[in-house]
Structure 1
Amino acid sequence: MTTTSSGTSGTSENLVVRRADHTTIRYTASGPAGAPALVLIHGWACDRRDFDAVTRHLPGGYRVLAVDLAEHGESRSTRDVWTIEESARDVAAVLEAESVTTAVVAGHSHGAAVAVEVGRLLPDTVSHVIALDGLHYLSLFPAQSEEQARATLGVFRDDFAAAVRGLVEAGSPAGTDPALRDAYFVKMVVVRQPAGLGAIEGLVHWDMDAALRETKQPITVLGIRDLVTQEAIDRYGDRFDIVLVDLGSHHFLVEAPEATAKLLADVMRSG
C-alpha cells in the first residue's frame, strides 16, 4: 500500500492509496497532519466533491479527509466485491496511510453504513460515527429478506434510470427545487457500473442490526425532519442520537454546507 500526492490546491492535497485488485482510492486531505481526523464519506453514486464547501466552513485543528469510495469520483477498482464491509476497508486504508490515531467518521446516506463499518473495523481509532441523513430508512434497514432484496434489485436491473429517479424523489421533501432534483439525478444515474448496482446490492444485504451490536461508538444521526419517521425513532432512538434538521433535502450537505459544517463541529466538540 502506498500513498502519493497528485497535486495540491491551497491547503488541501489530493492523495491516493493503492489496494489490491487494482484499487486506487483517492481522497482530499486538509488541516494539520497528526491532528484528530474527521473522515467524510459520500453517498451512493456521489463523490467527495459533495463535501468541498462543507470543508471550507469547518473549524481549524482537524485533519479533514474526504474519500472517494471505489469506482466513485476519481477512485477506480477492478474488484468484484461491493459490500459495505469492503468499502469500509477502503476508508480504513486511508486512515492507515495517514497514520490516524483518533477519528470521527461521518457518512452521507450509503456512506453512513460505510461509516458504521469503519467504526466496527477500527474500534480503537474511531471515536464517533455521524450519519448525514442515513441509517434511519426502514425500507433498507435492518437487513432485507432475500425476497425483498431481489425485488429491490429487480427495480434497478429493470430500469436503472427510473430507480435512480425514484431515490431522488424519495429524498426530496415538499418544496425541494425541481432543478436540484434534476441535478442530483443527472449526477447519480451515470454512476460507474458494475459498481453502482453492486453497491446497491451490498447495501440491501448489509445487516445493520448485526453491525450495531459490534459497533460500540456513539452514533449521531443528522436526519431531515420530513424524512425521518416516528417508527425509525422508536426502533433506533435508544441506539442513535437522532437530531432532526431542516436544511433542505436528503442532499442537505450540498444545499447547506455552512450549517452542515456547524452541526459536524458541534458533534465533534461534544465527544
Structure 2
Amino acid sequence: MADANGTISENLVARRSDHTTIRYTAAGPADGPVMVLIHGWACDRRDFHAVTGHLPEHYRVLAVDLAEHGESRSTREVWTMEEFARDVAAVLEAESVTEAVVAGHSLGAAVAVETGRLLPGTVSHVVALDGLHYLSLFPAQNEEQTDAVLGMFRGDFAAAVRGLVEGGSPAGTDPAVMDAYFEKMVAVRQPAGLRAIEGLLRWDMDAALRETKQPITVFAIRDLVTQEAIDRYGDRLDIVLVDLGSHHFQVEAPEATARLLADVEHPERL
C-alpha cells in the first residue's frame, strides 16, 4: 500500500475469479476519503499518476487498469460497460472501501456511471472527465449505426483510432501530442480493444442515467461540446466547461485537473 507520505504503490492486485486480474495503484492514507480514477479506452492508469501527486495528501487515491488495459489481464468474453464496472468494484472490495467518489475519463466515465449503479451505497459522486456528452455516441445508436462505426475499426483500425484522436483535439493541439496519443491507443490489446468499443457503442446511457442516483459532474473541454448536448443532458448532468487542452486534459493539465476533482463536492468552487 501507500506509505505515510502517500507514495504510490505499484502492482496492487484485485482478482475476479479465474478470468480477470485487475492491477491498480493506491496513494494516501488508508483512512482518507477515497477517490477512484478510471482511464479511457486504450489508455491506462498512468494517465493519472501526475494528477494523483497534486491531489490533497489526505485523499486515498485508487487508479485502476481496466481489464486488458495497462497491466490488467482477462480471458473473459463479456466487454460491456457493466462488466468493466465490476473490475472497479473488485478494487473497492479489495480495499474495503465503504464510500468513494468515482471519476472516469472518456469510456471510463461510462464505467464510472455503471459503478455507481452497481454500488449505490458506496459511490457518493460520479465524475466524467470529457465523457458522457458526445452525441455521436449517446443516445444509444441503432444496429445500423453501430455496425457502421464498428466496420471502420474492423476495416482500418489505425485510421479509426487516428480519427478518434483528431476528433478529441481542438484546433491548435500540438501534432506531437496527438501522435503520442495515437501510438499509445493503437497498441491496445486485442480483441478486448475492439470489443470495448463495441460495448461503449451498445451502452444505453439514457437508461443508465435514469437509474443512477448519485450526482454526476462532467468536466468537458469547451471546444468539444455542442449546445445540443448541453440542452439534452443539462438537467441530469452538471456540465462544467473547461479550457485545459484536449480530450486527454488530465495528462496535459494534471494540477488543474486535481483541483477540479478535489472541489467536486464543493460546487460553489467550480
Under TM normalisation by the shorter chain, which class is it?
A: over 0.9
CA deviation map 1:112-153 (0-9, x unaligned): 000000000000110100000000001001111111110110
- Aligned-pair identity (%): 82
Deviating beyond 2 angstroms after TM superposition, the runs of 4 or more aligned structure 1 residues are 268-271
The answer to whether 1:12 aligns with 2:8 is yes
| Alignment-mate amino acid for residue 160 of structure 1 | F
Query: How many residues matched?
Result: 266
What is residue 261 of structure 2 aligned with on the other side? 264
Q: Cα distance, 1:20 vs. partner? A: 2.5
Contact 2:6–2:29 (Cα < 8 Å) also in 1: no
Q: Cα distance, 1:35 vs. partner? A: 2.1
Report the 3-state secondary structure (helix = DSSP H, G, I; strand = E; otherwise coil) of the residue aligned with 2:219. strand
The answer to whether 1:109 aligns with 2:106 is yes
What is residue 89 of structure 1 aligned with on the other side? 86
Give the gaps of 5 or more residues in structure 2.
none
Q: Cα distance, 1:11 vs. partner? A: 1.9
Contact 1:141–1:207 (Cα < 8 Å) also in 2: yes
1:1-271 residue pairs with structure 2 within 5 A?
11-14=7-10, 15-270=12-267
Give the gaps of 5 or more residues in structure 1.
none
Q: Cα distance, 1:80 vs. partner? A: 1.3
Q: Cα distance, 1:189 vs. partner? A: 0.1
Q: Cα distance, 1:34 vs. partner? A: 2.7
Q: Cα distance, 1:36 vs. partner? A: 1.8
| Alignment-mate amino acid for residue 9 of structure 2 | E
Contact 1:169–1:181 (Cα < 8 Å) also in 2: yes
Q: Give me the whole-angstrom Cα distance separating, in 2, the residues matched to 1:75 and 1:264.
A: 25
Report the 3-state secondary structure (helix = DSSP H, G, I; strand = E; otherwise coil) of the residue aligned with 2:263. helix
Report the 3-state secondary structure (helix = DSSP H, G, I; strand = E; otherwise coil) of the residue aligned with 2:188. coil
Q: Give me the whole-angstrom Cα distance separating, in 1, the residues matched to 2:182 and 2:158.
A: 8
Report the 3-state secondary structure (helix = DSSP H, G, I; strand = E; otherwise coil) of the residue aligned with 1:196. helix
How much is the aligned-residue C-alpha RMSD, in angstroms? 1.6
Q: Cα distance, 1:21 vs. partner? A: 4.1
Q: Cα distance, 1:22 vs. partner? A: 2.5
Relative to structure 1, the CA distance from residue 10 to residue 234 in structure 2 (aligned partners, 3 Å threshold; closer, same or farther) is closer
Report the 3-state secondary structure (helix = DSSP H, G, I; strand = E; otherwise coil) of the residue aligned with 2:21. strand
Q: Give me the whole-angstrom Cα distance separating, in 2, the residues matched to 1:163 and 1:70.
A: 22
Q: Give me the whole-angstrom Cα distance separating, in 2, the residues matched to 1:10 and 1:105.
A: 19
Q: With structure 2 as the length reference, what TM-score do the two structures score?
A: 0.96
Q: Give me the whole-angstrom Cα distance separating, in 1, the residues matched to 2:265 and 2:50.
A: 18
Contact 2:6–2:28 (Cα < 8 Å) also in 1: no
Report the 3-state secondary structure (helix = DSSP H, G, I; strand = E; otherwise coil) of the residue aligned with 1:114. helix
Q: Give me the whole-angstrom Cα distance separating, in 2, the residues matched to 1:160 and 1:175.
A: 25
Report the 3-state secondary structure (helix = DSSP H, G, I; strand = E; otherwise coil) of the residue aligned with 2:52. helix
Stretch deviating more after TM superposition (33-42 or 195-204): 33-42
Q: Cα distance, 1:59 vs. partner? A: 0.6
Q: Cα distance, 1:270 vs. partner? A: 4.4
| Alignment-mate amino acid for residue 66 of structure 1 | A
Q: With structure 1 as the length reference, what TM-score do the two structures score?
A: 0.95
Report the 3-state secondary structure (helix = DSSP H, G, I; strand = E; otherwise coil) of the residue aligned with 1:261. helix
Report the 3-state secondary structure (helix = DSSP H, G, I; strand = E; otherwise coil) of the residue aligned with 1:29. strand
